[in-house]
Chain A
Amino acid sequence: MVIAAAVLAGGCASPKTSYVEADSSRLITTVEGINIQDFAQAADAMTASLIDNFINPGLLKSGVPGEPALMAISRIVNSTGQQLDTDMLIKKIRVTLLRTGKVQTSTTVAFGGVEDPLVAELGGAPKRRPDYTLSGKIIEDRTRAGKVRQSSYIFQLALSSLDGIAVWEDERIIVKQGSRPSVGF
């Protein structure tokens, strides 16, 4: 009787909480929303594309010889039905580009206002104009067949020179199918 009760109680207990590596295959995946691993995948694919098609062939130009090129963040439109912070995508790209040693990002010149108001206040007007701006859009498409739901998240980014020319563009589509959330995929 006691054993049966213990077994029953054990079976009904909710799973314990544990830490999971942010880049592991054991993260919760949902069809309804963009998960953190989706942002990481999109950012990874976008930085790889930018390096492959623009930086590695030597097309990136800096306004100050010997210095990394300067990039400003322009409008990143969220066209999904979800409330999300676009920095989930853009910050990863910025950090990775900074670590290439080829690109830096302005914290005082950005669409929608300065990112670091104290630098803008202490440093005065920006001394250097950006060489490039990064703009983009996140789009969502949903469909279903019976119980199976499918969500597609389309990440679009463009790097523009100050002449208004898109010198690099790419699109990454993440498609998820399922009927309920799961851990893993």
Chain B
Amino acid sequence: MMRPGAAAAPRPTAFSRLDFRAKLAAVLAASLAAVLWDDPGMGALLALATIGACLAAGIGARYLALVGRVMAPFLLLLVLTHGFFNVQLVLRLTGRAALTPLFTVPPSWPLAGSMVFSREGFLYGISVVCKSVTLLLLVPLCVLTTDPNNIVVGLVRMKVPYKFAFAFSSTLRFFPLLLEEIGLVIEAQRLRGFAVEEMGVAERVRTYAKVAIPVTLGAMFKAQQIEIVLQARGFSGSARRTYLHDSELGLSGRLVVAASVAAAALVVILRLEAHIGAFRAGLLP
């Protein structure tokens, strides 16, 4: 039997055994690099490294493929938007007077006729796509490889109030259940003849909109069940409690934290002082 949200089933790896705080430090350092690096080449390397880290940490290729499928339309939209419309920012970043056209939409096309798709805009779009992919995958890399209870303990050790830590971990636990519920409702719609692959865009939107009623109802029921269960188990939100497992940073965790802090500092210094990671230092001639 697969658990809800099959992604949350990574095999034990060296990364998954790390303390949550060490993972968080590594993820924050990588996120900083993703935000600061506008260079599409470096951004692509970081995104590929993140995908590799996910696979190495035991997150299944199927899950990554699913994320890719879901995000593909948005990522394509990003590339198109920057390629066609992001002129001023790219001109400023490159210091050029004009952008290099890659292609021009035939003038006879309605609405988009004569629009120019620039090479620099395209590369900036690729950079934004790489940032998005990296940031998108860093979250599951950190969260899906950690037992929710260890997340709570780790956050509490970082002085996060227990109530907030518990709410955060509960959200993580609830999310796969919600996805499962959405899947079941979509399945029920298919069984009434509403298979989205057989529909046009407008009908798809209308059909998906109708998912909201049963999903909301199901989510409310599940939330109420969870509240009953929590109350019946003596949960009061009080920070006065004990833990079955402690959160031990350990030598490996300390090394990861130290390396992450150093890497983050290096990324900032190199970006500000040597402009490494800046857009113009990338694939442009």
Partners in one complex: no
Residues of B within 8 A of A (CB): none
